Amino acid sequence: MKRNAYIAAALLLAGLSACNNEPAFTVKGEITDAADKMLYLERTSLSGIVPLDSTELDEDGSFSFSAARPDAPDFYRLRVENQVINFSVDSTETVQVNAGLKNLATGYQIEGSENNTKIKELVLLQAELQEKINRLAQSGLPIGIAQDSLQRMVDAYKDTVKRNYIFVSPNKPYAYFALFQEVNGYLIFDPLTNREDVKCFAAVATSMNNMYPHADRSRNLYNMVIKGMKNTRAPQVKPLEVPAEKIEETSIIDIPLRDENGTLHHLTDLKGKVVLIDFTVYGAAESGARNLLLRELYNKYKGQGLEVYQISLDSDEHFWRTSADNLPWICVRDPQGPYSTFLRLYGVSQLPTSFLVNRENELSLRVDANTDLDAAIKNLL
């Protein structure tokens, strides 16, 4: 009996040990001039700040926290009173932070990943913008002039962040962090009513959806982009005018091209379905936004007979293959690129351009940026 008790105790301890050996990340370092202050480790979740751990700092200010590794890149912060240091974690890395209490939020030093170095750069840029806005508010300038100056400041900030942090690496956590920076309590990038800002959100959403499709942040960002895209376009349908001599017996001009796996697809083989023909370039800035919208429509109407026949004119074949591999519809590429014969046959003068084909293989309409695509597809189905 006693032997069995020893075995049970050993198994219990082993189980506890196993629980404590779950993958974790570590954040450690020193916060000087903060003796007797409480330091908090918190997670910045979609629903708010989540406390994870805390410690009372001593004279040397050293600290060390460990927490469970996130399933996808996530965001955390160290806080003393009302000052915070933001950082991201995507694995079991160790993040080293050193700072003084006086300028904790901007004067800290951080090591551990490129993401956290970039996040600090963004924090400093945002702080600089906020300081400029504060000075402008105290300048005594007439309201109209002040508003013009404010708009120029914000536009310049956006251009810098788009160029150096968002579009250059939309798959990085720091690009996501950049989207949600604020001044005076308002988002700098508008995800719902500014068409150009929505493109920034779409670029990051596309990358996150491809890499972490089941993450809460990916789904949330995706939904924001879809709503923003709907808000920034006005419904309008224009009839398609195609010269009669260009219409063959099948009522559409066939496009026989190969997908990323080398399989040949004929556009005319899709008779019986409603087909969205989409001439595009995946390398274009607006491609991510378009594909997010198409994915929503495709998921909604695929079961009712919708198919997407997407023709890439990208010159970079490897980039096209990588991008097409994550898309659920037919993705083909014309190696002639912008010199494609099909662009001339379909009267395409700019990219992206789309057409809708009914179930009888008849061209129905040309889609433009203002087309209510949902209604047009539903009408043909």
List, for residues 290-306, the tens digit of each pLDDT value. 687 788 889 999 999 99
CATH number for 298? 3.40.30.10
**What is the chain's alpha carbon radius of gyration, rounded to the nearest angstrom?**
27
Judged against a pLDDT cut of 70, whether residue 242 lies above it is answered with no
Could you read off the pLDDT of 124-154 as tens digits, one per residue? 999 999 999 888 878 877 656 766 788 888 9
Preceding peptide of 191 cis, ω within 30°: no
Q: How far is CA 256 from CA 182, 241, 332, in A?
A: 49, 22, 9
Instruction: Confirm if 222 and 293 have CB atoms less than 8 A apart.
Output: no
Q: How far apart are CA 158 and CA 154, in angstroms?
A: 6
In a shared domain, residues 133 and 212: yes
CA 181 to chain centre: 15
Rounded Cα distance, 229 and 321, in Å? 26
Same domain assignment for residues 271 and 347: yes
Which of residues 51, 76, 110 is at a domain's end? 110
Residues 309, 209 within the same domain: no
The rounded Cα 18 to chain-centroid distance in angstroms is 36
Is 135 found in the same domain as 52?
no
Instruction: Report the pLDDT value the prediction gives residue 234, as an integer from 0 to 100.
Output: 54
Under the banding of pLDDT at 50, 70 and 90, the label for residue 51 is: very high
Domain that holds residue 155: 123-232
Please tell me whether residues 74 and 181 are part of one structural domain: no
Residue that finishes a domain, picked among 46, 76, 110:
110
Q: What pLDDT sits at residue 250?
A: 47
Q: What is the DSSP string of 86-145?
A: EEEESSS-EEEEEEESTTHHHH-EEES-HHHHHHHHHHHHHHHHHHHHHHHHTS---HHH
Band (336; pLDDT cuts 50, 70, 90): confident
Domain-located, residue 294:
yes
User: Does 190 lie in the same domain as 273?
Assistant: no
In a domain, 61, yes or no: yes
In this structure, are 286 and 308 located in the same domain? yes
- Asked whether residue 115 is domain-assigned, the answer is no
Average confidence (pLDDT) over 368-374: 77
Provide the 10 A C-beta neighbour count for residue 307: 18
Please tell me which residue, 275 or 231, carries the higher pLDDT value.
275
Percentage above 90 pLDDT, the chain:
50
* Residue 338 resides in a domain: yes
Give the containing element (helix H, strand E) for 299.
helix 287-301
Is 238 among the domain residues?
no
What average pLDDT is seen over the chain?
Answer: 85
- Cβ(364)–Cβ(358) under 8 Å? yes
In the structure encoding, which two tokens stand for residue 201, read together? Answer: 């959100």
Q: Does 75 or 207 have the greater pLDDT score? A: 75
Q: Do 100 and 130 share a domain, yes or no?
A: no
Of 233, 251, 255, the residue nearest 242 (C-alpha): 251
**217 lies in some domain:** yes
Q: Across residues 308-335, what is the average pLDDT?
A: 88
Q: How many domains does the chain have?
A: 3
- CA angle (180, 116, 26) in 5-degree steps: 115
